[in-house]
Amino acid sequence: MTVTRWIWTVAIAMTVACGGKTEDTASGDTAPVDDGVHPFVPEGYEYLWNTDGCDGGAGVYHLAQGTSDEDTLDLTETWYWFFGEDDYAGDCYDTFEFNGVKTNTTWGSTEPCSECEEEWSGAYKEGEGDENACGFGYGGILVDDTDYDGNDFNAIFYLDTLSPSGNPNEDNAALVIALWEGSDGWYWDSNYGRGEVYPQEKGDYYGASDYGWVNGGGQLCVTFSR
């Protein structure tokens, strides 16, 4: 997928490992030193995310976590930007809140995900008061519109969570397809996220659940034209 934001280009890059932990034991004491793990990286992703930037721009990851009941889904999704500069200069993150309800949209001849068991529609809005807010506009990334006003969107998330037999995918895996409404209609990403959905009550695949996902295609590489 190639989109532009301002004068940016977004491309898919593969995720690579980074960081490592060392200890100073020369004096007989165990003293932790800089382990190379970026302070913004969430627990569990320390050695999965590349925080060194890419091709003169930023390596970007978006990580979502949330819960649902039978009718609503509430998610927090954080976008992490890594430029690879010394002392993490310029690195930042933006937080979005999604509040959605179950829907069943009719698209006509073009169906975003005919095999998906879940469809959630609602408002996707940038959080307020985030001290690490990047101040970027997301119109070019989400709806291919560099002039899109603001960082609040109408969104639909489709999730493929079950196998054809009706059982959970292996390891409770979920594929996430995202749709965003822009000035000229809907835009969608058929590999927006990969993650897991865990029913809060065992075996109740259509009831309250816990959700989590990260970029579907690995790291996004956002480069800036100088």
Tell me, what's the pLDDT at 128?
79
Residue 109 has pLDDT above 90, yes or no: no
Amino acid at 96: F
Cβ–Cβ contacts within 10 Å for residue 102, how many?
A: 15
CA nearest to 42, candidates 77, 14, 68: 77
pLDDT (0 to 100) of residue 223 = 79
Per-residue pLDDT of 182-198, as tens digits, reads: 998 999 999 999 999 99
Q: Where are the domains of the chain?
A: 8-22+33-224
Q: What number of helices (H) and strands (E) belong to the chain?
A: 1, 12
- 206 pLDDT tier (thresholds 50, 70, 90): confident
Q: Between residues 57 and 125, which one has the greater pLDDT?
A: 125
Where does the chain have alpha helices with state H? 139-142
pLDDT band at 2 (very low <50, low <70, confident <90, very high): very low
Q: By C-alpha distance, which of 152, 150, 196 is closest to 170?
A: 196
Average of pLDDT values for 120-130?
A: 88
Q: Please tell me the predicted confidence (pLDDT) of residue 7.
A: 29
Residue 34: what residue type? D
Q: What pLDDT shows up at residue 167? A: 85
Task: Round to whole Å and give the CA distance between 217 and 157.
Answer: 16
Of the listed ranges 30-34, 161-165, 174-178, the one predicted with least confidence: 30-34
Residue 132's pLDDT band (cuts 50, 70, 90): low
How do beta strands 58-68 and 209-215 pair?
A: antiparallel
Average pLDDT, the chain: 83
As given in the structure block, the two tokens for residue 47 are 């050695």
Contacts of 204 (CB under 8 A, 6+ apart): none
Hey, which residues does 120 pair with through a beta bridge?
A: 102, 157
Among the listed residues 197, 182, 62, 185, the one whose alpha carbon sits nearest the alpha carbon of residue 118: 197
In this predicted structure, the answer to whether residue 46 has a pLDDT above a threshold of 60 is: yes
Q: What is the pLDDT of residue 225?
A: 54
Regarding beta strands 220-224 and 152-160, do their DSSP bridges make them parallel or antiparallel, or are they unpaired? Answer: unpaired
pLDDT at 127 over 90: no
**What pLDDT is recorded for position 130?**
62
pLDDT band at residue 110, thresholds of 50, 70 and 90? confident
Prediction pTM value:
0.82
In the predicted structure, residue 219 carries a pLDDT above the cut 80:
yes
Instruction: Name the least confident of 3-17, 23-37, 139-153, 206-220.
Output: 3-17
Average the pLDDT over 78-85 and give the result. 94
Which one, of 157, 164, 215, 161, lies nearest residue 191 by Cα? Answer: 215
The pLDDT value given to residue 131: 63
At residue 4, does pLDDT exceed 70?
no
